[in-house]
Amino acid sequence: MKKIINDPSTVVAEALRGLAAAHGDLLRVHEDPAYVARADAPRRGKVALVSGGGSGHEPLHGGFVGLGMLDAACPGAVFTSPTPDQVQAAVEAVHGDAGVLLVVKNYTGDVLNFETAAELASAEGIDVRTVVIDDDVAVKDSTYTAGRRGVGGTVLLEKIVGAAAERGDDLDACEALARRVVANVRSLGMALTACTVPHVGEPTFTLAEDEMEIGIGIHGEPGRARVPLEPADGIVRRLVEGVVEDLPFVEGDRVLLFTNSMGGTPLVELYLAHGVAERLLAERGIRVERRLVGPYVTSLEMQGMSLTLLRLDDELTELWDAPVRTPALRWGV
Amino acid sequence: MKKIINDPSTVVAEALRGLAAAHGDLLRVHEDPAYVARADAPRRGKVALVSGGGSGHEPLHGGFVGLGMLDAACPGAVFTSPTPDQVQAAVEAVHGDAGVLLVVKNYTGDVLNFETAAELASAEGIDVRTVVIDDDVAVKDSTYTAGRRGVGGTVLLEKIVGAAAERGDDLDACEALARRVVANVRSLGMALTACTVPHVGEPTFTLAEDEMEIGIGIHGEPGRARVPLEPADGIVRRLVEGVVEDLPFVEGDRVLLFTNSMGGTPLVELYLAHGVAERLLAERGIRVERRLVGPYVTSLEMQGMSLTLLRLDDELTELWDAPVRTPALRWGV
Amino acid sequence: MTCTAEDLVRALRAVAAAVADHRAELTELDRVIGDADHGENLRRGFLAVVTKVDSADLDTPTAVLKAVGTTLISTVGGASGPLYGTAFLRAANAVTEKSEVDGPAAAEALRAALGGVVARGRAEIGDKTMVDALSPAVDAAVAAAEAGGDVAAVLAAAAEAADRGAESTTPLVARKGRASYLGERSAGHLDPGARSTALILRALASSAGAR
Amino acid sequence: MTCTAEDLVRALRAVAAAVADHRAELTELDRVIGDADHGENLRRGFLAVVTKVDSADLDTPTAVLKAVGTTLISTVGGASGPLYGTAFLRAANAVTEKSEVDGPAAAEALRAALGGVVARGRAEIGDKTMVDALSPAVDAAVAAAEAGGDVAAVLAAAAEAADRGAESTTPLVARKGRASYLGERSAGHLDPGARSTALILRALASSAGAR
Ligand SMILES: Nc1ncnc2c1ncn2[C@@H]1O[C@H](COP(=O)(O)OP(=O)(O)O)[C@@H](O)[C@H]1O
Ligand SMILES: Nc1ncnc2c1ncn2[C@@H]1O[C@H](COP(=O)(O)OP(=O)(O)O)[C@@H](O)[C@H]1O
Ligand SMILES: [Mg+2]
Ligand SMILES: [Mg+2]
Ligand SMILES: [Mg+2]
Ligand SMILES: [Mg+2]
């Protein structure tokens, strides 16, 4: 295993120290239990947005703490959901008496830990709501699975609902908006290589030199199917088709297209893939009105990408465009 | 070779199409000869800042085109300097009758090609100056080498001089400022893994599972020394010492610390390394007043990192803080 | 033979040792059909449990079990953290007011633990989860207690049944947790949580039997 | 025997073919002490050269050489683009007003080419660059021309000397270009640019000799 770390068991704590040093103007890091909070939290009268999940997906979630996005993020161990006491402490630190919305990616661990935290915080008299995001079309959503995973759509949800909270929407409105985003966002990812979890020391799966994995998760877990490697046109076509046909997105839809790197894929490839996706969507008459391109929901050093489409309306577009000032997303301010 | 591409010979052109699609609000891409220009160029009366170099270092340089930074960037083939006609065309497209400053990383190929372009543009009556950046302390600077390479410091130079040009500094002032940045900035990088150039199809060098390369270049070229892999503390100490002792940076110096990923190193490791660097600098009494952490000067999917230190004064700090609106750096606007 | 708070603490040290010894095995099982963290999650959790029960002054079985539950919840994370944590909290509730746990009480505690896991995780037998190990363990424990078994006998029966229950997960297609994303590809592999349940029960039984 | 514009175009096709055939070899040489693009750079450049000289109506050697120079400059990039480009531009200047290139003119053109490379790159013999191949090639060409050799003889002599000159770069420590970053580690490897210079001259010589 080749990593710039000291000890697998201190990776997250040490990275948080670096995050705090790098972005002291935007956020504060609390060490035990570990959470990242907006520097100016709590904001009285503002709905607080709190998220979290396993580490190793950076900049998700800590890189999205700041004005117009998250009030707090709770990082678990690498690829392991945080514990309820982290979430509870974060909620108590940042809530501004206007309620708290928990943004939870749909994994059994995250759901159970946030659920427990919500119970604890509610017992303290804080109005806590939970929205679960499950945008990954790779997973069959049925009573016979844990349901779809939350992946790339999480960033879009955090940005849009963060903007709503920032402009003063109340908890009901924020919760309803979050559900609207969930209802209109879909993602699909793929990997060329696996990643190595520090305490495991070897890749989570292996792919031959001529194979790729479609429908990959963001925790180094295998995906839906292993198929022969294809040129970018073929790869992106698979992702576009998977995403578009699921909702489905149809001719005339206005969308936000998010082309995401799993971490190890260089920007030159990502922009290339983004160009292909724009072309394929144009062919279907789907109008890309906003874009995000970069490594935002990653899986350590995994090479691969995902596509996320969000169906836009005027309000979602306005909230997407609204000012945001976080380590990883910043505009308008 | 596992990459999301269609054909090695069209990678750069296709990536530029994706860049244009993603950031049409900020920039325009010209196809043949290839260059990226600010959407609102030429800006009358403003000094134009033009840079470029081989592709594969994204977001450098195309990702830094926009308000407060570059007016144009010329992307060569992967790891190959651009040709003079690209640079000449870019210069002619964006100059605003206040002169043009070419920012050239110190590689023989870049220097020769930009030099030729400068001759051609001067012949057209455009006042063109060139500043060569050579901040890589890994290379012995002597008459027996091509001199130090330009690496991470390039981003800082482009940001700071871009801000000066934006506020209306004239060509002499911009040139002098650029030389001041060059005089005060130093970098050192290392790699855990090599990268694969698309048309080569295999890694540019090989490192054993227990080795790392210190003083790595950003073109997949080998570095200064191959040594056994170390924990993050040791790696960062090597980089800090190499950089600090070169200028040298001394107790009481105010600096900007730029912790850069070579592309394949995940953010969680990069922040961890950044935290270590902050600690080591604090121990030496060097005051970190500004930071940049992320993958900004990359070498495709190479895993590794570099540290860059820039000695700050009030003016450099003010120019660093000034508004910038580009695909990869954005604040204050 | 019964089990005091002190016996329980000794048994938990044995559990922590067993989990640490099998960290790599659990991680490997989870690598194949999950995300390769189960071994590390439980190692971290039970290390914290040992630190906790060693430092706090816990003089009843219910106090010990409660400390275990809250510690697991606040240190494990993942799916297994709240599940095992809830299991221990429910077990703690089942033995309130007892200063020693006898055979029937142990069976009752295990039944309560299973109830907690199911309440949180909503898994059924055959879903390829820890329930597939814990549920037959409860049945065996109850039967052993009804047959007059002491704590050691009850736990031995539970461990035995949990081992077989864990084995039974191999051919199953997962319907809960992370392994369910794999669909049919999850068949042919032992469930890491079922395996860890069997391991934990085996360590508890051995500790009780050794007295 | 002399060399017309048409002969020159034929010879350039041979050069392009040689460069394409040796692309992998040049890339590999550059991979070891550089950045692995020399083969691809020259393949791209000479492909463009062939397209250019085939499409344009170039009826003098100087016009052909000038087209080669400008095409290389605008398509190769890297260090070798401006260097080879300037070499061909200077060679073009050296043969202005000639409709055919004879032995002495060929030697003169090579001398001018070397002058261009040195003017741009400021390398000296022993710096481990293309100069180490080109410089002895010029000496040999001049000697052959003085001995009354025709174009074929002059180029053959140049190619022969360039081969030996290229070989001579192996033990050297690079002092110019990207390989100089390696310091002592650059010794023991053939310089890619010296090798490509030898290849180009060999292809020119073979084409001239085949007539
Ligand atoms: N809904 C559930 N009910 C019961 N057990 C579950 C459930 N979901 C997962 N598990 C158990 O948890 C184990 C995985 O635990 P762990 O790897 O620590 O968490 P995670 O899946 O979050 O990484 C599985 O092997 C399974 O036995
Ligand atoms: N200053 C110089 N003078 C003469 N030749 C040089 C000089 N610098 C580099 N070269 C030649 O250029 C070759 C490398 O060319 P190429 O790989 O195409 O460019 P780059 O080094 O920019 O990647 C070297 O092998 C060397 O022969
Ligand atoms: Mg997990
Ligand atoms: Mg090159
Ligand atoms: Mg797991
Ligand atoms: Mg090269």
Classify residue B333: in a domain, yes or no. no
Task: Identify the CA nearest to A291 among candidates A176, A152, A169.
Answer: A152
CB B140, CB D183: distance < 8 Å: yes
pLDDT in tens, D130-160: 999 999 999 999 999 999 999 999 999 999 9
Band of residue C188 on the pLDDT scale cut at 50, 70, 90: very high
Same domain, A158 and A219: no
- Span B16-34, average pLDDT: 97
Place D175 in a pLDDT band, splitting at 50, 70 and 90. very high
Do B308 and B327 form a contact (C-beta atoms < 8 A)?
no
Q: Which two tokens stand for residue D196?
A: 């490509």
Q: Which residues of A fall below an 8 Å CB-CB distance to C?
A: 9, 33, 54, 76-85, 107-109, 112-113, 115-116, 138-140, 144-146, 149, 197, 199-200, 204-205, 217, 219-222, 224
Q: Cβ B268–A6 below 8 Å, yes or no?
A: no
Query: Tens digit of pLDDT for each residue in A134-155?
Result: 999 998 777 677 889 999 999 9
The answer to whether the predicted template modeling score (pTM) of the entire model surpasses 0.90 is: yes
Ligand closest in space to the Cα of B109: 2
For B49, how many CA atoms within 13 A lie in the half-sphere containing its CB?
A: 34
Same domain, A189 and A90: no
Q: How far apart are CA D108 and CA C174, in angstroms?
A: 80
Inter-chain contact A268–B21, Cβ cutoff 8 Å?
Answer: no
Domain residues for the domain of B28 are 12-184
> Average of pLDDT values for B178-194?
97
Q: Is the domain of A180 the same as that of A64?
A: yes
Give the residue from B154, B184, B214 where a domain finishes: B184
β-pairing verdict for A128-133 and A100-105 = parallel
Listed residue (A268, A270, A263, A2) closest to B300, CA to CA: A268
Give the model confidence (pLDDT) of C124-159 as tens digits: 999 999 999 999 999 999 999 999 999 999 999 999
Q: What is the pLDDT of residue A221?
A: 77
pLDDT of residue A223: 79
Q: Which residues of D touch B9 (CB under 8 A)?
A: 44
Which of B272, B274, B293 minimises the CB distance to A5? B272
- Count interface pairs A-C at CB distance under 8 A: 108
Q: Which residues of B touch D78 (CB under 8 A)?
A: 76, 80-81, 109, 113
- The answer to whether residue B95 is catalytic is no
Q: Answer whether residue A7 is part of any domain.
A: no
Q: Which of A184, A205, A220 is the last residue of a domain?
A: A184
The reply to whether ligand 1 has any atom less than 6 angstroms from the CB of C178 is yes
Q: Tell me what pLDDT residue B204 has.
A: 86
The interface predicted TM-score (ipTM) is 0.95
**Concatenated DSSP letters for C102-116?**
-HHHHHHHHHHHHHH
CATH number of the domain encompassing residue B149: 3.40.50.10440
Nearest atom (ligand 2) to Cα of B219: 23
State the catalytic residue, choosing from A23, A57, A61, A95.
A57
Residue C59 CA to residue C81 CA, distance in Å, equals 24
Asked if the peptide bond before residue A59 counts as cis, ω within 30 degrees of 0, the response is: yes
**Per-residue pLDDT at C198 exceeds 90:** yes
Residue A3 lies in a domain: no
In a shared domain, residues A43 and A128: yes
Ligand 4 centre from C199 Cα, in Å? 58
Give the number of whichever ligand sits closest to the CA of residue D131: 2
| A175 shares its domain with A191 | no
D33 CB near ligand 2 (under 6 Å): no
The answer to whether position B6 is within a domain reads no
Task: Check residue A222 and give its pLDDT.
Answer: 75
Nearest to B56 by CA among B249, B234, B298: B298
The pLDDT value recorded for residue A204 is 85
Going by beta carbons, is chain C in contact with chain A, meaning 3 or more pairs sit under 8 Å apart? yes
Domain count, chain D: 1
Whose tokens are 């295998």? That residue is A222
User: Does residue A23 carry a catalytic annotation?
Assistant: no
Look at residue A89 and tell me if it is in a domain: yes
Of A9, A144, A200, the CB nearest to C36: A200
pLDDT of residue C22: 98
User: In the predicted model, is pLDDT for residue B310 greater than 80?
Assistant: yes
User: Tokens 């206005």 map to which residue?
Assistant: A254
Please list the alpha-helical segments (H only) found in chain D: 5-21, 23-33, 38-55, 61-75, 80-94, 103-121, 131-146, 151-167, 192-209
CATH code for position B261: 3.30.1180.20
pLDDT higher than 90, residue B282:
yes
Domain extent for C143: 5-209
How far are the Cα atoms of A155, B105, D178 from residue B133, in angstroms, in the given order?
Answer: 37, 5, 16
Torsion angles phi and psi, residue B310, rounded to 5: -120, 125
The CA-CA-CA angle for residues A273, A279, A284, to 5°, reads 130
Chain A touched by C87 (CB under 8 Å) = no
In the predicted model, what is the mean pLDDT of residues B104-123?
95
Please indicate whether, in this complex, the C-beta atoms of B145 and D181 are within 8 angstroms of each other.
yes
DSSP label of D173: P
The answer on A232 and A122 residing in a single domain is no
Residues of chain A with pLDDT under 50: none
Residues B191 and B66 in one domain: no
| Residues in chain A within 8 Å Cβ distance of B59 | 267
Contact D182 B222 (CB under 8 A): yes
- Residue of B23, B57, B95, B274 with catalytic role: B57
Q: What is the Å distance from ligand 1's center to A148 Cα?
A: 16
For B252-283, give the DSSP string. Answer: T-EEEEEEEE-SSS-HHHHHHHHHHHHHHHHH
Contact list, B209 vs chain A (CB under 8 Å): 2
Which of B149, B184, B219 corresponds to the end of one domain? B184
Judgement on whether residues A112 and A213 belong to the same structural domain of the protein: no
- D73-83 residue pLDDT tens: 999 999 999 99
Has residue A221 been placed in a domain?
yes
Separation between Cα atoms, residue B88 and residue B91, nearest integer Å: 5
> Is A48 found in the same domain as A191?
no
pLDDT of residue D106: 97
SS3 B129: strand
Cis amide leading into D136 (omega within 30)? no
Domain count of chain A? 2
Share of chain C above pLDDT 90, in %: 91
Can you give the pLDDT at residue C115? 98
Q: Is C123 in the pocket of ligand 1 (CB under 6 A)?
A: yes
- pLDDT of res. C1: 76
Which candidate in B11, B55, B113 is best for mutational testing of the D interface (most D CBs within 10 A)?
Answer: B113
As a whole number, the mean pLDDT across chain B is 96
pLDDT confidence of residue B329 = 98
Q: Which of D22, D29, D38, D199 to mutate to test the pocket of ligand 2 (most atoms within 8 A of CB)?
A: D38
- Confidence check: pLDDT of B221 > 80: no
> Can you give the pLDDT at residue A269?
98
Is residue B147 within 8 Å of residue B105, measured between CB atoms? no
Asked if the Cβ–Cβ distance from B85 to D175 is below 8 Å, we say no
Please check whether residue A121 lies inside any domain of the structure: yes
User: Using CA atoms, how far apart are residues C82 and C87, in angstroms rounded to an integer?
Assistant: 8
CATH code assigned at C116? 1.25.40.340
Looking at the complex, report in whole angstroms how far the Cα of residue A126 sits from the nearest Cα belonging to chain B.
32
* Rounded-to-integer distance, Cα A217 and Cα C178, Å: 10
For B164-252, strand residue ranges (E) read 185-191, 211-214, 225-228
Query: Minimum mean pLDDT among A3-12, A300-309, B57-66, B142-151: which range?
Result: B142-151
Cross-chain Cβ contact B80/D83 below 8 Å: no
Render pLDDT for D74-109 as a digit per residue (tens, 0 to 9).
999 999 999 999 999 999 999 998 899 999 999 999
Of residues B7, B268, B331, nearest to A56 (C-beta): B268
